[in-house]
Amino acid sequence: MSPGPMQILDRSADALAGRIAPQLRTPHLAGTANLIALLMKFSAREMERGAEIRHAENIGMRALFAELAHIVRDGDLRRRLGAAAAEDDASVVLSELDRTNADLKRLLIELHIQVEEAGDRKAERRILKFLSWMASQRAVSIF
């Protein structure tokens, strides 16, 4: 079985950090090689789970919009939250998921502002819990 892109990146990063970087003549070059190796490791992990994470975040944001839209006073924002809640990801291509994810996050920011200005602590805690979950999904371990 041939290695896939994730394995290629991972093995190349190991070679760069383990065999090539130690042989470079200056600390700057060795440090740069190690940084590139680390970025390759992160890229390999992103390749493995990137679409899954974004898709799950998009589903979660849409569910949050459906849950909280009714408390929003601004009619235009309430309408946009409802429309976003009713959508699905049209594609699982990472660049498309990224675009949709960014659009939904901008809407989430608007919702969060509205909730804070209204002083709705229960809704604010709900949003913060969701943001914490999102951060945990994207956490990267180097070990």
* Rounded CA separation 124/141 (Å): 29
pLDDT of residue 34 exceeding 90, the answer is yes
Report pTM: 0.82
Which residues are within 8 A (CB) of 140 and not within 5 positions of it... i.e. 6 or more apart? Answer: 42, 45
Q: Tokens in use for 87?
A: 């959508």
On the 0-12 / 13-18 / 19+ scale of CB atoms within 10 A, 72 is buried
Q: Tokens in use for 60?
A: 């979660």
Mean pLDDT, residues 66-83 taken together:
97
Mean pLDDT, residues 68-78 taken together:
96
List, for residues 45-56, the tens digit of each pLDDT value. Answer: 888 889 999 999
* Rounded CA separation 33/46 (Å): 20
pLDDT of residue 143: 58
pLDDT of residue 15: 94
pLDDT of residue 42: 87
pLDDT of residue 133 exceeding 70, the answer is yes
* Rounded CA separation 66/78 (Å): 10
Q: Which of 5-9, 58-62, 110-114, 116-120 has the lowest mean pLDDT?
A: 5-9
List, for residues 2-29, the tens digit of each pLDDT value. Answer: 888 889 998 999 999 999 999 999 999 9
Split at pLDDT 50, 70, 90, the class of 142 is low
